Amino acid sequence: MSVNQEGSQEAIRRRSWRDIDLRAVAPFVALALLLLVGALVNPNFISINNLANVATRSAFIAIIAVGATFVISSGDLDLSVGAMVAFIASLMILFMNSGVIADPVLMLLAAILFAIVAGTLCGLTNGLITTVGRIEPFIATLGTMGIYRGLTTWLSQGGAITLKEPELQEMYRPAYFGTIAGVPVPIVVILAVTAVAAFILYRTRYGRHVVAVGSNRDVARYSGISVNRVRTVAFVIQGLCVAVAVLLYVPRLGSTSATTGILWELQAITAVVVGGTALKGGAGRVWGTICGAFILELVGNIMLLSNFISEYLIGAIQGAIIIIAMLVQRSLVRKS
């Protein structure tokens, strides 16, 4: 601590504005631009009502993507989330239809618990296959994606699975359509899930371990971190998030089919990448992730409201977005 420290105080002040991490800010800038474009395309777009609608519809992807942020930050990937949604939702509806519990309130609570346990187990399966089985996460979750999807098709016998009990349906509806203090429930859930996730990722020991494991597994191992446990828990968190998304999904339509959640893994991963999380692991940005999910939904909404582009192209646009996001990320890394 000698001459070296002199002048650093002043230097720090001078560069504080440059300290802003471009990658963390980029998604929010993109969001602001999109809002501007939308407002120009259609004046109805910027209304509170429309935006709240968009946010509500982004809930499924946003919540799933929050879980994906953990998996990706720890250096893994989960492709099975879309199929997992269909599978858990089908199981949950079948459970409610089975009528094993007579009292509707108890039945609903049991069904919620059931979905959460199912999500945990699905996530745990993915985690154990990749870590204990030492199979590339890409392949492992590609496999479970096929399994979850196939089981759903089998459960529904190729058709739909619909919630039969009207009383249950009535009672469960507000979970998606209701509001809390004027705010739609799904938006409240997004915020709550994200806040908890941000706390875990930035403020707990486990969160630090996730980032360490994602940046360099050797360093993590030499620091006494059990790498496989950290990775497995990330998959379990992903499973839990999928379960929460299912809890919002079931009351919306009261029905699932073999095509439920198709390509949601693409959207979830896109949201994470657009949000600024590095796909090679080592840096997670939870708030960026939900911003990314919101952006995806907004793009769709703008396409609907404008007449320039057919809304049937939405999948193609989303595919393009992930590629553009990766390019932007890389150029920002180079600069810094």
Partner 1 sequence: MTTEHVDGAPVVLSARRISKSFSGVQVLFSVDFELRQGEIHALMGENGAGKSTLVKILSGFEQPTSGEILLDGKSAKLPANGAAEALGIVIIHQEFNLAEHLTVTESLFLGREVTRFGVLDRKFMRAETRRVLDLLGSHVDENAMIGSLSIAEKQMVEIAKAISRDARVVFMDEPTAVLSREETNFLFRLVRKLRDKGTSFVFVSHKLDEVMELTDRVTVLRDGQWIKTSPTSVLDGEAIAQLMVGRELSSLYAAKTEPDIDEEVVLRVASVSTGYVRDASFEVRRGEILGFSGMIGSGRTELMEAVVGLRSRLAGEVLVRGQPVAAGDVHAANKAGLAYMTKDRKAKGLLLNSGMMANLTLQSLGRHSRLGYLDPASEEAALAKARRRFDIRVRDEKIVAGRMSGGNQQKLLLAKVMETDPSIIIIDEPTRGIDVGTKQQIYHFISALARDGRSIIVVSSEMPEVIGLCSRVAVMREGQIAGVLEGDEISEQEIMRYAAGLKKKTAA
Q: Give residues in contact with partner 1 (CB under 8 A).
A: 1-5, 7-8, 11-12, 14-15, 18-19, 203-206, 208-209, 211-212, 215-216, 218-226, 282-283
Tokens 């029905």 label which residue?
255
From residue 1, alpha-carbon distances to 5, 8, 9, 175 in Å are 6, 12, 13, 59
Nearer to partner 1, 222 or 312 (CB): 222
| Residue type for position 246 | V
* Minimum separation from the CB atom of position 218 to partner 1 (A): 5
Question: Residue 255 in 3-state DSSP?
Answer: strand
> Taking CA 226 as the corner, what is the angle to CA 224 and CA 228, rounded to the nearest 5 degrees?
155
* Minimum separation from the CB atom of position 220 to partner 1 (A): 8
Tokens coding 314 = 């939405």
* Minimum separation from the CB atom of position 142 to partner 1 (A): 23
* Minimum separation from the CB atom of position 93 to partner 1 (A): 35
Nearer to partner 1, 164 or 280 (CB): 280
* Minimum separation from the CB atom of position 288 to partner 1 (A): 17
Nearer to partner 1, 21 or 167 (CB): 21
Nearer to partner 1, 103 or 218 (CB): 218
* Minimum separation from the CB atom of position 12 to partner 1 (A): 7
DSSP, res 246: H
* Minimum separation from the CB atom of position 329 to partner 1 (A): 14
* Closest residue by Cα to residue 321 from 249, 298, 310, 336: 298
* Closest residue by Cα to residue 69 from 273, 291, 325, 320: 273
> Taking CA 215 as the corner, what is the angle to CA 30 and CA 124, rounded to the nearest 5 degrees?
90
- DSSP notation for 52-119: HHHHHHTHHHHHHHHHHHHHHHTT-----HHHHHHHHHHHHHHHHHHT-S-SHHHHHHHHHHHHHHHH
Distance of CA 96 to the CA centre of its chain: 26
Neighbours of 58 (CB within 10 A): 26
Task: Give the HSE-up count for residue 178: Cα atoms under 13 Å, Cβ half-sphere.
Answer: 13
The rounded distance, in Å, linking the Cα atoms of 9 and 45 is: 47
Nearer to partner 1, 192 or 320 (CB): 192
* Minimum separation from the CB atom of position 221 to partner 1 (A): 7
* Minimum separation from the CB atom of position 281 to partner 1 (A): 10
Strands 255-257 and 160-162: antiparallel
Paired residues of 162 in beta bridges: 255
Nearer to partner 1, 120 or 216 (CB): 216
Nearer to partner 1, 227 or 266 (CB): 227
Nearer to partner 1, 154 or 202 (CB): 202
Nearer to partner 1, 216 or 306 (CB): 216
